[in-house]
Amino acid sequence: MAAVALLLPAVRAEISLMPVPSSLQAGSGALPLTGKFTVAFDAYREKRLDDAVNRMMHRLARKTGLQFGPAMAKAAPDAALVIRCVRAGKPVQSVNEDEAYQLTVTPERATLTAQNPLGVLRGLETLIQLANINADGFAIPAVTIDDHPRFPWRGMLIDVSRHFMPLDVIRRNLDGMAAVKMNVLHWHLSDDQGFRVESKVYPKLQQDGSDGKFYTQEQIRGIIEYARERGIRVVPEFDIPGHTSAILTGYPKLATDPSDLKIGRHFGIFDDCMDPSNEAVYAWLDPFIGEMARLFPDEYFHIGGDEVNGKQWSASTRIKAFEQAHKMPTGKPGNEAIHRYFNERVLVMLKRHGKKMEGWDEILNPDLPKDIVIQSWRGQKSLAEAATNGFTGILSSGYYLDHMDKASTHYAVDPLTKQTADLTETQKKLVLGGESCMWGEYVSPENIDGRIWPRNAVIAERLWSPQSVTDPGDMYKRMERVSRELEYAGTLHRINYQVMLDRLAGSAPVGPVKVLADVVEAGSLGVRARDHKYTTDEPLNRLPDTVLPESDVARHFTTLVASAKDPAGSAQIRHWLITWRDNDARLQPIIAQSALLKGSAPASQMLAEVAKIGLEALDAIDAGKHLDQAWATRTKTRLTAAARPVSEVRIGIVAAVQALADQAH
């Protein structure tokens, strides 16, 4: 344990915000934060703002352990924080609504000014992050902040179809999103593996398509209200015409091929698909869209439209006849034409029900009206193409949380780089922002927080902060701090990790399990799909489900290797390598007693193997010797093998050990 302490560098005690504001000037001194902290409004006030202040006080109580009295000051001059909100927001939050705020903190008082309640919400989150302990107590450092988002659309997709997520999961992740100023929950509510909303018009949707796991309309309204209170829009996605196995299970008459329809249990792209040539499909869709359009007040309605493999369309003589009658090219890739036809029919319905259309890259079609939003899973090229044609778009390519990439990888992805960098300024304005995507194949209500946080915070920063804010080293320091902030906000990414480790250990000591878990990283979607035949029924309770996408320990070890030439650094490196080398012998008996750990034995052995190589290199370095070419070649081969996923996880220190080996050669 002491070793961890040695390894983690001291995070800056001064101002550390994520996302970084557009403009910040540090002042001198600080406003003390005590149990007597109170708030006053001196302009527009509404219940949403009062609730936000009460939540802030609750969060500050968790963060500080202070006991606060009632939040509202009896008289404005007594208040430590004065909130000046100019006017009410729109009844339904819109994409271009003003989120700017100004926050001035002096040793006497904090003043938060915004045109709109959204700005107040954003500013309160900044204030919470500013509040920190110092040698004298808790305080908010004197500062002048003038802040506004770079992009108006900063969202996260949560897929609740592959694995259903109970309301508390949605709520606490909305709290997490609000903490890093995200403003759109893209709720992926329907896919092959489940339809998750109560429909009163078509009750077989939930009866036959959800295994009993769905949200009632009242619960949906509750979440929309919960999100609105936090300045977050809720955009529903009902993916059509593909990804519809769950819908078609209850309504087979809509299917291109109605044989063998059932809720999907496996993952991947299914053949099941609605039949665009069947007029009954449109007759069915209109009341459905109407019902959901009334339930979800947002101006956008996401129709998916992705990954239609077209196999059933190509195989259907009925569709071929329809295509010919409508003078469409037939078969692949001509399926695009009938898909386009489908989208245009759907668009008419969306308009009738007062909605703008949103969909994935595949729906892009120059004939569509300019107010649609293209969500790009393919990359900046699609966005550039959309913008060139006058369409708005958002980026999700590069922000897929289920790919288990490092935070720095996501951080480096900018909606206005590559092809979009060449757009005119006017066209660039059509790029509204982006959304991270938490696809649900390998997440449970228990491990989803660890898949989302803290990495999602750096995507939030990319979409809020100035484009020039890009330093990954600084980002990681702030990400580690925001990870604790998120814990105070209620996400369970730290807590559930510990609970899952305890379970893996069973009745054995958890220590050796944690040593391994802390230094490996969760395998990506592809790794999971390859190594293990998962279904929606498979419990997600093993090591690859537990470990995080990015290992803090491995990252700090890598930094240590890169920066430490001094003996103290060497001793720390050695301590870690010995710990990892020796852990296997301790862990294997525990693995032998735990069916949940059984598959992880190779990862434990591989970690020991890598650590041994690291120690060979370190011995040479410390002795001032150089290892020969044969050793270097053999080592490279061994480490290349070790870099491949094992037991559905990645050993996080392989590159660092290779760097040590390079030093020793």
Please count the other Cβ atoms lying within 10 Å of the Cβ belonging to residue 623: 9
Question: Shortest approach of a copy of itself to residue 594 CB, angstroms?
Answer: 5
Residue 307 known to be catalytic: yes
Residue 65 vs 624, nearer CB to a copy of itself: 65
Nearest residue to 377 via CA among 389, 363, 357, 390:
363
Count of H-run helices and E-run strands, the chain: 26, 18
Question: Shortest approach of a copy of itself to residue 337 CB, angstroms?
Answer: 42
CA separation for the pair 81, 83 (Å, rounded):
6
Question: Shortest approach of a copy of itself to residue 311 CB, angstroms?
Answer: 31
Question: Shortest approach of a copy of itself to residue 65 CB, angstroms?
Answer: 3
Question: Shortest approach of a copy of itself to residue 481 CB, angstroms?
Answer: 6
Question: Shortest approach of a copy of itself to residue 518 CB, angstroms?
Answer: 7
Phi, psi of 556 (to 5 degrees): -70, -35
The encoded tokens of residue 579 equal 């710990």
β-strand pairing of 520-522 with 233-238: unpaired
Residue 465 in contact with residue 475, Cβ under 8 Å?
no
In 453-563, which ranges are continuous DSSP H helix?
A: 455-464, 472-489, 495-505, 511-519, 525-531, 543-546, 552-563
Question: Shortest approach of a copy of itself to residue 600 CB, angstroms?
Answer: 13
Please count the other Cβ atoms lying within 10 Å of the Cβ belonging to residue 644: 11
Residue 182 in contact with residue 232, Cβ under 8 Å?
yes
Task: Output the CA angle 129-126-553, nearest 5 degrees.
Answer: 40
Q: Could you list the residues that contact a copy of itself (CB under 8 A)?
A: 1-13, 16, 35, 62-67, 132-138, 444, 446, 481, 484, 487, 494-495, 498-500, 502-503, 506-512, 514-515, 518, 537, 539-541, 545, 579, 582-583, 586, 589-590, 592-596, 598
Task: Return the half-sphere exposure (C-beta side, CA atoms, 13 A cut-off) of residue 394.
Answer: 30
Residue matched to tokens 């708030």: 39
Residue 73 vs 431, nearer CB to a copy of itself: 73
CA 327 to chain centre: 43
- CA dihedral defined by 202, 225, 148, 29, rounded to 10 degrees? -150
Residue 11 vs 525, nearer CB to a copy of itself: 11
CA separation for the pair 638, 658 (Å, rounded):
10
The encoded tokens of residue 294 equal 């009334």
CA separation for the pair 251, 422 (Å, rounded):
46
Question: Shortest approach of a copy of itself to residue 486 CB, angstroms?
Answer: 11
Phi, psi of 144 (to 5 degrees): -125, 120
CA separation for the pair 51, 194 (Å, rounded):
34
- Catalytic residue, from 46, 99, 225, 307: name it: 307
Q: How far apart are the first and last CA of the chain?
A: 32
Residue 8 vs 632, nearer CB to a copy of itself: 8
Give catalytic residues, as residue numbers.
307
